[in-house]
Structure 1
């Protein structure tokens, strides 16, 4: 999926091809994080929620005659059908671009800023190269929803194109027309939106601070999205200080959801892929963290602990920065993620030793090969340079024969070049820096290394 971004902070014009693994690199202040957060805003639930409300309030430019016809049929006959695949073929690109078009209206709230301006922001998405795969996802999707104790229903079976709506009894006469319209529109928009990315998890750089919080004392309304808060809630939050950017709120929600979630045995029975994510969480603990992360209930509270040895357990505020850095990813994989979800990780190398940075590059590739999407921003030459190694390894005819050359010794970390994009952000734009051969041509860090070496050489000459 290709994305064009215009007038986003320092970014004047950028074109990005989003792949299963997308990497943003570049100097500080070049717009990497803003670009990542903007994509999170559009593809996440904020984008869907704001657009749904605007459409139902009549504040959008785009109309959908298919929805109008289905709604009329539902009122007249008590049932209606929408060919979801045909609807997606006709409107999916229009829909997501309408979401993007409205983003400037709420980006200041999303970014928790009164000073930054987003009036001229423009984001455009092109699905031409990925539409066929997108339509396959729509066809494979299932829907089973109802309201009013099951008297108004929406159903779509896996492999069936048709999304059915039907009412029982005289419920259509009892419910307000607005509620019925909201139900129908919500189901078709949500179906479209979730097939871009089923959900978006954001790991902001602030994560090493927030993972130490005592989540048992949180009230859920303190971290949920602003549009779901009452006026009283908003007033209370404003009095507490600077508001949090939406990615941080969502991160807190993620940790709180992990805290409240039980083990996934029943879910895994329904979807075996979830078991693979639990195994990846365990692998991350064993091979990189060298210990286990888990919640423990004491006499007074439930808290998150790290266990580096059998008889040793440590509270999160006193563990190493690497554990604070990666513990949220363990929790997300163990309790929450599902296939086709997007993980946006701001600087995954933060607080990691160079060897651990190489290991995390391999681990992120393993996540992608397990059906997740990953977008990272990074300053790490170890991650970027090793990514080239992983792409070259994927071309090898006998991957088992070379896996011991790699830090995690897993061939599942070898990733096809077709799944990767790397963009260098500088001078107000973003440039694709993967060559056809799979090399990554970046000069940002190489130039700094050369400069440092040159300074040393020059000092020796002066000394002589």
Structure 2
């Protein structure tokens, strides 16, 4: 999916091709995080929820005659159907660009700022190269929901294109037309929106702080992750008039949701890929953290602990910075993540030793190969350089023969170049820096290394 961003902070114009693994690099203050968060605001649950409300209030630029026809048929006959494949083929790009058009209206709230200016923000999305995959996801989606104890039902079976709305006889007369309209439009928009990314999990840099807080500090109402429109109750921080941006709210929700989940057996029965994500959480603990992350409930409270060995359990405030950094990712993989979800990780190298940074580069590639999407911002030359190694390794005729050269010794850490994009943010734009051969042509890190070497050489000359 290709995205063009204009007038976002220091970014004048940036053209980005979102791949399964997308990497933003560049100096501080070049707009990497703002770009990542803006994409989340449009493509995530915030974009869906705000657009649905605006559409129901008649405040969107676009209208959809096919939805109006289905609504009228439903009111007249008590049942209706809509071909979601046809609707997505004709309207998906129109829809998501209409969502993007409204983004300036809610970006201040999303970012928890009163001073930043988003009035001139423009985001345009082009689905030409990704529409086939989008339609495939629409076809595989399944829906079975109801309103008011079955007065109105929605049904779509997996591998079918038709979304049905139906009721029994004249029973719809018991529902107000506004409720019927909201139910129908909500089901249609939600299916379409989730076809881009089923859900977006954000790991802001604040994660190393909030993961140490007692769970009681941010009690949130439990919601299902697929209910994109639902909002959380106010957290303790908001009650104290402490503004929280949506990325931090999503992190807090993730921690709370994880603390309330016991296992994923039913989810695994429905989708075996989920078991792979649980195993990836175990692998992250064993191979990188070298200990276990988990919740423990006493008579008084539930807390998140780290267990580096069988006889030792530690509270989060006193564990290593690497554990604080990666514990949220463990929780997300073990309890929440599902296929076609997007993980946005701001500086995954934060607090990691260089060896661990190389390992996390391999692990992120493993996540992508397991059916997830990952977008990171980074300042790490180790991650960027090693990503080039992983792309070259994916071209090798016998991957097993070279896996021992790599830190995690896993062939599923090798990633195809077609799945990767790397952009250098500087001078108000973003430049694709992967060559056709798979090398990554960056200077933002190398120039600093050269400067340090030159300073050292000059100091030696002076001393001589």
| TM-score of the aligned structures, taking structure 1 as reference length | 0.97
**Do structure 1's residue 113 and structure 2's residue 142 form an aligned pair?**
no
Provide the residue aligned with 2:382 in structure 1: 382
**Do structure 1's residue 143 and structure 2's residue 143 form an aligned pair?**
yes
Asked if the contact 1:216–1:303 (Cα under 8 Å) also holds between the matched residues in 2, the reply is no
Structure 2 CA distance for aligned equivalents of residues 228 and 199 of structure 1? 14
Q: Deviations over 1:130-180 (max 9, x none)?
A: 111111111111111111111211111111111111012433111111100
Provide the residue aligned with 1:437 in structure 2: 437
Structure 2 CA distance for aligned equivalents of residues 14 and 93 of structure 1? 19
Q: Deviations over 1:337-385 (max 9, x none)?
A: 0000000000000000000000000000000000000000000000000
Structure 2 CA distance for aligned equivalents of residues 410 and 62 of structure 1? 48
Provide the residue aligned with 2:189 in structure 1: 189
Asked if the contact 1:83–1:161 (Cα under 8 Å) also holds between the matched residues in 2, the reply is yes
Question: Cα 1:352–1:108, aligned 2, differ >3 Å: closer, same or farther?
Answer: same
Structure 2 CA distance for aligned equivalents of residues 334 and 221 of structure 1? 21
Provide the residue aligned with 2:243 in structure 1: 243
Provide the residue aligned with 1:428 in structure 2: 428
Structure 1 residue 450: Cα displacement? 0.4
Gaps of 5+ in 2: none
Asked if the contact 2:45–2:229 (Cα under 8 Å) also holds between the matched residues in 1, the reply is no
Secondary structure of 1:158's counterpart equals: coil
Provide the residue aligned with 2:61 in structure 1: 61
* Alignment map for 1:68-83 (pairs within 5 Å): 68-83=68-83
Structure 1 residue 237: Cα displacement? 5.8
Question: Cα 1:123–1:222, aligned 2, differ >3 Å: closer, same or farther?
Answer: same
Asked if the contact 1:145–1:153 (Cα under 8 Å) also holds between the matched residues in 2, the reply is yes
* Alignment map for 1:14-33 (pairs within 5 Å): 14-33=14-33
Provide the residue aligned with 1:336 in structure 2: 336
Secondary structure of 2:30's counterpart equals: coil
Gaps of 5+ in 1: none
Provide the residue aligned with 1:308 in structure 2: 308
Provide the residue aligned with 1:165 in structure 2: 165
Provide the residue aligned with 1:287 in structure 2: 287
Structure 1 residue 98: Cα displacement? 0.6
Secondary structure of 2:445's counterpart equals: helix
Provide the residue aligned with 2:218 in structure 1: 218
Q: Deviations over 1:40-94 (max 9, x none)?
A: 1111111000000000000111010000000000011110010000000000001
**Superposition CA RMSD, Å:** 1.8
Secondary structure of 1:196's counterpart equals: coil
Asked if the contact 1:70–1:80 (Cα under 8 Å) also holds between the matched residues in 2, the reply is yes
Provide the residue aligned with 1:153 in structure 2: 153
Provide the residue aligned with 2:95 in structure 1: 95
Asked if the contact 2:48–2:229 (Cα under 8 Å) also holds between the matched residues in 1, the reply is no
Question: Cα 1:239–1:259, aligned 2, differ >3 Å: closer, same or farther?
Answer: closer
Structure 2 CA distance for aligned equivalents of residues 135 and 26 of structure 1? 34
Provide the residue aligned with 1:416 in structure 2: 416
Secondary structure of 2:458's counterpart equals: helix
Structure 1 residue 217: Cα displacement? 5.0
Structure 1 residue 328: Cα displacement? 0.5
Structure 2 CA distance for aligned equivalents of residues 194 and 238 of structure 1? 28
Structure 2 CA distance for aligned equivalents of residues 108 and 367 of structure 1? 31
Secondary structure of 2:431's counterpart equals: strand
Question: Cα 1:239–1:293, aligned 2, differ >3 Å: closer, same or farther?
Answer: closer
Structure 2 CA distance for aligned equivalents of residues 113 and 143 of structure 1? 37
| TM-score of the aligned structures, taking structure 2 as reference length | 0.97
Structure 2 CA distance for aligned equivalents of residues 222 and 268 of structure 1? 21
Structure 2 CA distance for aligned equivalents of residues 383 and 138 of structure 1? 34
Structure 1 residue 226: Cα displacement? 12
| Aligned positions, number | 461
